[in-house]
Structure formats: structure tokens, C-alpha cells
Amino acid sequence: MNRHEKAAVAAVALMLLAGAAIFLFAPTDFLQGPVQRIFYLHVSSAIAAYGCFAVVLVGGIVYLRNESASADRFARAGALVGVIFTTVTLVMGMLWAKPIWGTYWTWDARLTSTLVLWIIYAGYLLVRRLAEPGRQAARLGAVVGVFGFIDVPVVHFSVTWWRTHHPGPIVVNDALPAEMLATFFLTLACTLVLAAVMIAIRYRIETLQDEKENVLLAAQVVPARQPEAAR
């Protein structure tokens, strides 16, 4: 087993531990019942997604400053993992909203901005897939990553004058009993480890892909672009 496989096994074990805490240790919510248990993973994966997009932002800024190829690989890895965690957040949120709010979706500030977040970074991944790999694509990706990060608070701010249904931050004002709080922080820590491991693995894949690209370029096996260059 190599480093990455060991890390993956550890991350999965930690998530199983978090699952045990969520279903066995945490008490059932008096008002919402078992549905409330969605909260632990929902909020944790939202925070993990923001962390991943912060990686995209920092990677993009570093790339624009000094064209470091590893910063760009971190940005690509962060975007993919972030989109996965945003998807988890959205799906779990909708599953929670159906019994509690009576609808899967409402155009609330936080739901709208999370959906926009998902769309922007899914667009980022598409740009990286469609653009010819290289400096140009990395720069474009960096600009998209920076703008995407700025746009989300802007969208959130601009819809907050509409009445918001989303529960406010309940972790910070100690409205949660100690067992729930402990379960939440355990789940958060495990989710963040999982996100970090996923980014590390994806970073390795991106490195290998870049190496393959360089080998192909060095061997001059890209005849498709030659006529254009000769023109």
C-alpha cells in the first residue's frame, strides 16, 4: 500500500467513526426527529467545500504571481473536490428541507448562493477540460477561480433582503447540547481530513497527467496542431 492508499483508508475509517457518532452517540432532536442528523454532515461538507474553494483561490493567485505549476494543480484538485462536497451539501440540504420546510427547494439567500457556487466551479472544471492544457488554460482557470470566490458572497448579500428561511448559525451561540456539539466537531474534523486526502490524491493524479502531457509534447506526437503553427 502506498502513501495515498493508506491515507484513503484512514479517511474512510474516520468517516465511519463520524457516522457512528451521528447515529449512535448524538441524541435525537426533540422537534425535528431523526432528520436532524443530516445537519452534521450537511454543515461539515459545506465548510469543507468552502475550504476547497479557498484552495482554488489561493492556488489561482499564486499561479498568477509566479506561474507555479503545482499551485495550478492544487487549484484543479481543490475545484473538483469542492464541487463534490457542494453537491453533498445541496443534496443533504434538500433531503432535510423536504420534511422540515415541506419543499425540496426555496429561493433563499443561502440556497441560491450555494447553487451559484456549484455552477461556477462546475464551469471551472469544464473550462479546464475544454481549454488546451498549458499556461493559457491555467491562467484562465485562475481568473475564473478568483472571480467565482468573490461572486458567492456578492450573490449571498444581494438576496439577503428577501426573507431567509435558512437556519442561522446555531453552533456558535451554544444552542446545541454538548453531545450534539461534540458529534458536530468530530464530523467536521473527519470531513476536513477526507477533503484534504481527496485533494492530495487528486493532486497526484493531476501531476501524473501533466507529466504524460509533457512526455507527449517532448515526443512531438501532437501533429494535429502543426498545420496551424506553420501557417
Partner 1 sequence: MTVFRVALAVARKDLRSEWRTRELVPALGQFVVLALLIGNFGFQIDSRNAATIAPGILWMALVFAGLVAFGRTFAAEREQASLEALLMTPASPVAIFAGKAVAALTMLVLCEAVLLPALSLFFGTPFSFDLVAAVLLATIGLAVLGVLFAAIVARVRAREMLLPLLTLPLWIPFIIAGGQAVQSAFGLPGSYQEAIGLLVDFDILFVVLTSLAARFVLDE
Residues that bind partner 1 (CB under 8 A): 64, 116, 119-120, 123, 126-127, 130-132, 136-137, 139-140, 142-144, 146-148, 150-151, 154-155, 158-159, 161
Q: What's the CA gap between 102 and 65, in Å, rounded?
A: 48
Give the nearer residue to partner 1 in terms of CB position, either 30 or 161: 161
Give the nearer residue to partner 1 in terms of CB position, either 95 or 140: 140
Residue 50: name the closest of 141, 143, 153, 138 by CA.
153
Give the nearer residue to partner 1 in terms of CB position, either 16 or 119: 119
Q: What's the CA gap between 89 and 199, in Å, rounded?
A: 18
Exposed / middle / buried, residue 127 (Cβ in 10 Å: 0-12, 13-18, 19+):
middle
**Min CB(119)–partner 1 separation in Å:** 5
**Min CB(122)–partner 1 separation in Å:** 8
Give the nearer residue to partner 1 in terms of CB position, either 95 or 116: 116
Q: What's the CA gap between 83 and 67, in Å, rounded?
A: 24
Residue 82: name the closest of 183, 167, 178, 191 by CA.
191
**Min CB(64)–partner 1 separation in Å:** 5
**Min CB(154)–partner 1 separation in Å:** 5
Give the nearer residue to partner 1 in terms of CB position, either 164 or 207: 164
Give the nearer residue to partner 1 in terms of CB position, either 158 or 226: 158
| Amino acid occupying residue 143 | V
Length of the chain: 231
**Min CB(188)–partner 1 separation in Å:** 27
Contact residues for 18 (Cβ-Cβ < 8 A; gap 6+): 40, 41, 183, 186, 187, 190, 191
**Min CB(117)–partner 1 separation in Å:** 9
Q: What's the CA gap between 202 and 45, in Å, rounded?
A: 18
